[in-house]
Structure 1
Amino acid sequence: MAKSLPTPQPSLKEGVKAPVQETLLTPRFYTTDFDAVALMDISAHEKELGAIVDELKADYNRHHFVRDEEFKQVWDSIEGEKREAFIDFLERSCTSEFSGFLLFKELSRKLKNRNPMLADAFNCMARDEARHAGFLNKAMADFNLSLDLGYLTKSRTYTFFPPEWIIYTVYLSEKIGYWRYIIMFRHLELYPENQFYPLFRYFESWCQDENRHGDFFKALLRSQPSLFNNWKARLWVRFFLLMVFVTHTLTVFERVNFYQSLGIDAREYNKRVIEETNKTSARAFPTILNTQHPEFFQRMEECSDSNLRLAEIDKSDRPKVVKLLQKVPCFLSIAGHMVRLFMMKPIDTEATRAAVH
């Protein structure tokens, strides 16, 4: 279910980047059932949630996102495909962080007088997301561009997700975000000559924000038995893991040039991020995907190949009807591989936990 807010059409100011066209792969803006969230019984994990909220309130990164002298230079040396790929990375990252800010801020506002602990947590996470989005937008300004975040607030389509879907997807987005940032940071520590812009130096502390957010959503998830202790939850978990991993694969292979500019092999990076996120998810979810299956990444990359063919078709000057007919085999291929991936036997994490204890 999606609802479109009124869409004003002001002309964008000079230097303000027109938002990328909304697709299945662009960061989405979400809304949810705020009353249902307010009524959640979190007593089973209240102590753990309280400890995480205290950590969020401590705001360890309050002095971290300050632009230092290294930013104060002209960045014309970053040019061509490298510049284009980096701006695309900045825009999508900024939009994603801003999307999180809007959702968390609204949750905090609606829960303030009904569930103060959750309201405090969402307020702190909104603060972090706003800080990240602002820092990324300032980075775009170094390339004579910026995003009009107020325009995005009013013009983007808001997708409704029930609270349980929000918990699953936000947990995964925060944890996969952690692994994306920390793996990139560790790589650039080893190869500092590839760190062509100072933003990358901030990724270690940045990803710790992502990690804390993920830990909060893990505790929230485990406080709700209906989200992990039945067969429906197991199916939903597999579905959202698959969707997040396929989306990550498609976006990574769409931006091979960006990763090459950092000296990163896109294929190995994608595998590492997915494998680490899958392992981390075992601490929260009742089941995870079997990323060691010999066909797992092969099918993921087949989906990416079809997605890249779709992009090529879109760029052609053929009639729309011809394009649509050419796209059908690609859509069917992606759907077929995703069904096969979903049907692969998963790993039962609850059984493993029970055996350990």
Structure 2
Amino acid sequence: MSNTILKPDIDSGTVNASSLKPSKKSTILTPRFYTTDVEAIATIDLRLNQVEVEAICQEFRKDYNKRHFVRNEDFEGVADSLDPETRQVFMDFLEQSVISEFSGFLLYKELSRRIKNRNPLLAECFAHLARDEARHAGFLNKVMADFNLQLDLGFLTANKDYTYFQPKFIFYATYLSEKIGYWRYINVYEYLEKNPNKKLSPLFNYFKNWCQDENRHGDFFDALMRSQPYTLRGPISYLWCRFFLLAVFATMYLRDVANTDYYAALGLDPREYDKYVIKQTNASAARIFPVVLNVNDPNFYRRLERILNNNKILSRLDQDSSKLGFIMKLRKLPLWISNGAEMMKLFFSEPVSTATLCSSIH
């Protein structure tokens, strides 16, 4: 397939050259850009769940947040009022958020454009998703302008590396990304409503409406997977559901707990915050996935903590320039093996059958 990606066409993403900056170096824990098999997407048959997909598309057409993401006078002077350390932490948060939203826009816009004449309903849904992500990215980029800085979205489009995922992998990953985004945003919003003195920026006032966009996007991918039973049935699909749940949860936890400055600035405990988000997202996934992770097992977080500790040692070793390359690799090898072993234990831990879970609830 062609991996050509559309140039950004979001008005809210237009910026002045004097304020542009490229994004930070990509790592495994930073937002990534994806491509997929457009031909396979174009030939998706929605008939098994078309009524639900059409209903969600009708919700998208209402565009509830059309006039919500408008920068107002409340933002004036806020950036300058932050101390230098908090200012940098907030700028890093904004940068990662812009990249994440913009990567979603590029993927959805590409799919919508290329399948428009072959699968109109699906193309329209992707167009609405792209609209929302563009709106989010553009709004965040305007907030960055308060710090005399904006991301060069055109540069990102042309120069980022793109990762190829099969369509079903896109469905799993994006569903979980949107649902975990919902729980992250609503948790912060509700916490700051109770603790307004911790609110660093008026940006957080927008999180309630923002997370509703994320939730609707997740519902769309839920409906899309239900129209494609192969994504949710059979032992192979069970393994993939477990894999993506673990990948998303572990990535978030390892990233957040290793970089606590943002949460410290808000007065949040990143471990407790992530545990709540993981628990709620796991419960959301149980409504569609045949199995979910047993995140209530104490070993789940013990193993993640071991990986965190190993990563700290690896980071310190990276800063030690006194060792020769092969000696450094020998010192790192046991830590890499330990991390791999812990991830394998997490993956092969007994999952929770959602059929059993639903039975116990009723």
State the TM-score bracket (shorter-chain normalisation).
over 0.9
Task: List alignment gaps of at least 5 residues for structure 1.
Answer: 6-11
Distance 1:2 1:326 in 2: 42
Give the equivalent residue in structure 2 for 1:128. 132
How far, CA to CA, are the matches of 1:76 and 1:316 in structure 2? Answer: 37
8 Å CA contact retained: 2:53, 2:224: yes
Aligned partner of 2:285 in structure 1 is: 281
> How far did 1:354 drift?
7.0
Task: Indicate conservation of the 8 Å contact 2:79/2:87, yes or no.
Answer: no
Cα deviation 1:167-197 (Å, max 9, x = unaligned): 0000000000101111011100110000011
2:98 is aligned to 94
- Which residue of structure 1 lines up, in the alignment, with residue 203 of structure 2? 199
* Preserved contact between residue 140 and residue 146 of structure 1 (Cα < 8 Å): yes
**Paired AA for residue 297 in structure 2:** H
AA aligned to 2:338 is: S
Q: Cα deviation per residue 1:108-156 (whole Å; 9 max; x = unaligned)?
A: 0111001111000000000000010111111111111110000000000
Matched residue, 1:218 = 222
**SS state at 2:162 partner:** strand
1:83 positional shift: 1.8
Amino acid at match of 2:351: P
Deviation of 1:74 (Å) = 5.3
- Stretches (4+) displaced over 4 A: 1-5, 351-357
Q: 1:196 to 1:42 in 2, by over 3 A?
A: same
Q: What do you get for the CA RMSD once the two structures are aligned?
A: 2.2
Q: How much does 1:13 deviate?
A: 5.1
Partner of 2:172: 168
Q: How many residues align?
A: 351
* 246-255 or 75-84: bigger deviation: 75-84
Q: Which is further off, 235-244 or 313-322?
A: 313-322
Residue type at the aligned position of 1:119: A
Encode CA deviations 1:255-299: one digit per residue, 9 max, x unaligned: 211101101111100100111110100011010000011201111
The Cα of 1:306 is off from its aligned counterpart by: 2.3
**Contact 2:142–2:150, Cα closer than 8 Å, also in 1:** yes
After superposition, the Cα gap between the structure-2 partners of 1:316 and 1:16, relative to the gap in structure 1 and judged at 3 Å, is farther
- In the superposition, the TM-score normalised over structure 1's length comes to 0.93
Distance 1:324 1:86, change over 3 A: farther
> SS of the residue aligned with 1:295?
helix
Match of 1:67 among 44, 66, 71: 71
**Is the counterpart of residue 54 in structure 1 residue 62 in structure 2?**
no
| Secondary structure at the counterpart of residue 21 of structure 2 | coil
Q: Which amino acid aligns with 1:169?
A: A
Alignment partner, residue 350 of structure 1 = 355
- Paired position in structure 2 for 1:334: 339
Deviation string 1:68-112 (CA, Å, 9 cap, x unpaired) is 111122522313332222111111111010000000000101110
**Which ranges in structure 2 are unaligned for 5 or more consecutive residues?**
6-15
SS at match of 1:159: strand
**Inter-partner Cα distance in structure 1 for 2:157 and 2:238:** 34
Q: Which residue of 2 aligns with 1:306?
A: 310
Sequence identity of aligned pairs in percent?
Answer: 50
Name the CA shift for 1:74/1:262 in 2 (closer, same or farther; >3 Å).
closer
